[in-house]
Amino acid sequence: MTASVAHCPALFLTAPASNQGKTTITAALARYFTNQGKVVRVFKTGPDYLDPQILAQASKQPVEQLDIWMAGDDYCQDKLYQAAQVADLILVEGAMGMFDGDPSSADLAARFGIPMAIVMDVKGMAQTAAAVATGLANFRDDVEVAGLIANRCGSERHAELIRDALPESLPLLATLKRDEEVTLPERHLGLVQADEVKEELEIRFEAAVEWLKATKDTGLLALPKAVAFLPIKTSSENQATEQRLAGKTIAVAKDAAFSFIYDANLIALQSMGAEVVFFSPLKDQALPEADALWLPGGYPELHAKALSENIAMRQAIQAFYQAGKGILAECGGMLYSLGELTDLNEVCYPMLGILEGQGSMRGKRGCQGMQTAVIPQGEIRGHAHHRSRSANTPEPVGHGRRQRHPAPGEAIYQQQGLTASYLHLFFPSNLDVTAKIFLGKGHSSLDKRH
């Protein structure tokens, strides 16, 4: 039987640039409608670990990534279709500016017919805000813009100047006053992890609901129009029907030091038959019984002392490595794998030492961007986002291929069963390569041994 079209109200929150308040407003909307008893499914565009944590707590629902380049068109379509079958409202938060990136937020919204609301910090301008919003709304014919959300609006007179300058085709959906009580806490790579500030976030979410309700422009407080979401002809999960990891247990590091984990990656591992268990390199003294390890990214630099002092865990992972089992170490996980790590206070701590080299933090300057990991097992997509550097590392087996630049991307290292890199991989982009990494297949040292 052919699957039917699913209809669901949907809104895509975008902006002319970063730091306009998209996440704060998306979280506020999610909590506002959740408080009304509605099921709100939120998606975040592009590679992001911190915003989804915040949005998941606000909506009380899982939050996943949508990115046509990283995940594929069918994957995004299938995720939206599945959400539309259970949700009363779908919200999508864009990344950077409306037309930034390739593909951009506008590309994604146009592809799936989701109307966009422009979030703009209007502090320091009035009629110019209307001009910028009108320019964005008319820049492309294939993008539908529902209206403008004027954030940090100083007064009713300020709002009136913007409202009167907008064309009838572009309504002012909300005028939100400056209110530091709803601003979300931040850290050097973005927002603070939700688990660290759960109670504070709850206070801010509820304050944000009142913040939304105080607007005199109430267009944002009504459900947006329904969008028709189509099923894909072939399920995006079909490539997982081969149980490549059946009978395998994968232990995933998850605590305050390691938390950059896509829900989609966990779902991908489980779809291939793996059992996923979690452990804490900070607190646990032993590894769970497992066939492979995943050391994801996070903030090891904030917990370097505690990681270093957990000798029992370091020895357990070293023994796991010596056994030749599969280990994936991404970004912060790679820093943990090195011989030592120098933290933000320039204090040096010994780490696992399963990968030769040293890691060190480097303040505010960092590296980021979409890349394809090119390794002996094949190609898999991901991204880099870090403010550290590594030195004296082994010869890499490959490098990331940048999305739009010919220079080599991040180095990728493989030895024994270990795969380590600054790249954060998106497993659904190539399940076959993902399985080989965790099985330790394709590593040169393993090939020689067998």
d(CA 159, CA 142): 29
Other beta carbons within 10 Å of 164: 11
Residue 331 annotated to the active site? yes
With contact defined as beta carbons under 8 Å apart, do 341 and 360 qualify? yes
Helix%, strand%, coil% for the chain, nearest 5: 35, 30, 40
d(CA 148, CA 136): 10
Sign of CA dihedral 119, 152, 25, 37: negative
Cis peptide before 115 (omega within 30 of 0): no
Structure tokens at 289: 């019984």
Catalytic residue among 8, 76, 153, 331: 331
Query: Which residues are CB-neighbours of 324 under 8 A, at least 6 positions away?
Result: 416, 417, 440, 445, 446, 449
Query: Which residues are CB-neighbours of 141 under 8 A, at least 6 positions away?
Result: none
Rg (the chain; Cα; Å): 23
Helix (H/G/I), strand (E/B), else coil: 230: coil
Tally DSSP H helices, then E strands, for the chain: 14, 26
The residues assigned a catalytic role are 331
